Amino acid sequence: MKSVFQDIYRKHQQTLDHFITNFNDLGEQFGEADRNAIKLFDLEGETINIKSFKVPNIINQIAYKFFRKSKAERSFTYANRLTDLGIGTPQPIAYYEFTTPFLFKKSYYISEHLDCDLTYRELTRDLNYPDHDRILRAFTRFTYKLHENNINFLDHSPGNTLIKKVGDAYQFYLVDLNRMEFKPMDFQTRINNLKRLTVHKSMVETMSDEYAKVSGEDYQKIFNLMWQLTEDFQEKFHRKKRLKKKLKFWKS
């Protein structure tokens, strides 16, 4: 077992070891455990969030053991990097990895649990959500800030941005951090980063308008590209979904 901690949480190592080794029996389930399980634990009055990544396939067990950083380590590293850049994300606490001499097995990422008012997903489900336009424009400015800081959040999807209202302002926090690139992005890459967020043309129009205002780029140029990339992504997504449904039917 390998474990890496933030210095201020090192004093809790024994407790966190206990949570990890008894993860299946302790904690409160949070959300649906589709691929990875998330549980909440109480750490001396602080609610913390432990994400258990599933055991990878045999090829990735070898890759993660010898060649690649685990999802847990990347989540921890990227969270610290975001924090250093002033980008919102729940406070990283620690990560754990379990391996054999030749294979990678389980990994866990621990962070603070952040109570949010909504995620971006609520904006896609209810176009009349209170303050919808203002939140969407603030989110677009937040995304522009990511791009200006050379952050390409590859999982920039509706459920991965937590939103909190603080006074009259909205604050944004990224979660599910294991897929990121840190390098300058050209115009195409920046707009491509927004393609997975919504199917609603009106929301793409608003995001294009706000991105044009903060970037100085032409609105029509941004909208045409963002809408085309959004439609292409949706078509690919639904085609893949239909294929999976057919395969499932033939298997049964």
CA distance 227 to 215: 18
User: Which three-class secondary structure state does DSSP give residue 183?
Assistant: coil
18-44 pLDDT tens trace = 999 999 999 999 987 677 999 999 999
| CA 153 to chain CA centroid, nearest Å | 8
Domain 2-112 adopts which CATH fold?
A: Phosphorylase Kinase; domain 1 (3.30.200)
CA distance 212 to 209: 5
Quote the pLDDT of residue 240: 74
Two domains, one topology: 2-112 and 118-235:
no
Bridge partners, residue 94, by sequence: 5, 110
CA distance 14 to 2: 14
Quote the pLDDT of residue 245: 67
Which whole number is the average pLDDT over 73-92? 97
Quote the pLDDT of residue 35: 77
100-142 pLDDT tens trace = 999 999 999 999 999 999 999 999 999 999 999 999 999 999 9
CA distance 36 to 195: 24
| CA 138 to chain CA centroid, nearest Å | 18
Give the architecture (CATH level 2) of 118-235.
Answer: Orthogonal Bundle (1.10)
Quote the pLDDT of residue 238: 73
Boundaries of every domain in the chain: 2-112, 118-235
154-201 pLDDT tens trace = 999 999 999 999 999 999 999 999 999 999 999 999 999 999 999 999
Within 8 A by CB and 6+ apart from 159, the residues are 119, 120, 121, 176
Which whole number is the average pLDDT over 7-20? 97
198-250 pLDDT tens trace = 999 999 999 999 999 999 999 999 999 999 999 999 998 777 766 666 666 66
Quote the pLDDT of residue 209: 98
Quote the pLDDT of residue 213: 98
